[in-house]
Amino acid sequence: MNKKLFFLIVMLAFYSQVMAQGFRVYKDGVVIGTYNVEKFDSISFFLKTEYSAIDLGLPSGTLWADRNVGAPEIWDDGWYVSWGETKEKAEFGMPTYQLCVFNDYENFYYTKYTVQDGLTSLKPEDDVATVEMGTEWCIPTQSDWEELMTYCTWQWATSHPGEKDGYAIIGPNGHGLFLPAAGRKDGSDYSWGNNMGCYWTKDRGPLLSGKEIYAYELYFGNDFKTITNTNRDCGITVRGIIRK
């Protein structure tokens, strides 16, 4: 039977069953959800991003992902997230930051990674690389980024066919990856795309007026790269690692 015709028949059978009743979702033969179709107006299917771990020959043995979290291709920017959040969103800033209770810019406080709880590094449940990519993955620390800068060759380049600017990074063993200059998001504004890159670390930054406003990031352009701090609530990109 023609494959397209077979697929159409299967989808029509599925559609007729759904319209008549509803549908159940199974995992390992166990029902994990039962849904009435009246609750939905559409259903879409998507391909989950597949990440590859690249061995660059670093002294630590750390493996780096071939692409950003949420990026369908190695040159794509991927997701923009606030530090400690694990989902994309449209608006960034203190009023929308999940780890902040915000009344106004003079009256706000953070609910996690504070002086009170003593947490200075993201827990797995707040690490978007762990949540999205799998439990073996995590966001790099400052030390991980510093190792990448120390032992690898960084060359500003343009990806093809993506036509994105960023760094081609070559490790001691000759293996490499591409780190796009993905810019950042503040409020609903997008800045610095294709000119500068901003990538989260796992590490909370220094205090400002006694408040835990900052987290550390890798920040780079075509003639510099450094670890600095930035507001936790802004939206920037993430590259995952597997630590050996």
Flag whether pLDDT at 108 surpasses 50: yes
Greater confidence, 47 or 228? 228
CB 129 within 8 A of CB 69: yes
Residues 6+ apart with CB under 8 A from 59: 147, 151
Greater confidence, 99 or 105? 99
pLDDT of res. 1: 53
Mean pLDDT over all residues of the chain? Answer: 89
Residues 145-160 pLDDT 10s: 999 999 999 999 999 8
Q: Which residues pair with 166 in a beta bridge?
A: 157, 180
Q: Is 56 exposed, middle or buried (0-12, 13-18, 19+ CB in 10 A)?
A: buried
Flag whether pLDDT at 132 surpasses 80: yes
Based on its alpha-carbon atoms, the radius of gyration of the chain, rounded to whole angstroms, reads 21
Flag whether pLDDT at 239 surpasses 50: yes
Kindly report the pTM of this predicted structure: 0.81
